[in-house]
Structure 1
Amino acid sequence: MKNQVVVYVDKGVDGVSLKHLVHSLKQQLNPEMKIKRLDARSVIEENWEKDTQLFIMPGGRDVFYQSALVGKGTDKIRSYVEKEGNYLGICAGAYFACERIEFEKGTSLEILGERSLCFFPGIAKGPAYGVGKYTYNSSKGACNALINWQKHSLHVYFNGGCFFSSKSSEIKILSCYLDLPQSPPAIVEINHGQGKVILSGVHFEYLPDLLDQKDPYLSMIYHHLEKADSFRREMLCDLLKRVGCRLKTPNLKKKDDK
Structure 2
Amino acid sequence: MKNILHKNTNIAFSDSGKGTAIVLLHGFLENQKMWDAFVPEFSKKHRVITIDLLGHGETECMGYVHSMENNAEAVHAVLTHLRIRKAIFAGHSMGGYVALAFAELFPEMMKGLVLLNSTSRADSEERKLNRDRAIKAVKQSYVNFIRMSIANLFSEDNRERLDTEIENVKKEALKTPLQGIVASLEGMKIRIDREVLLHLTPYPKMLILGEKDPVLNYNESLEQIEDTDVKLVSFPDGHMSHIENQDELIAVLLGFFKTV
**TM category, shorter:** 0.3 to 0.5
User: Which structure: greater strand fraction?
Assistant: 1
User: Which structure: greater helix fraction?
Assistant: 2
The TM-score with structure 1 as length reference comes to 0.43
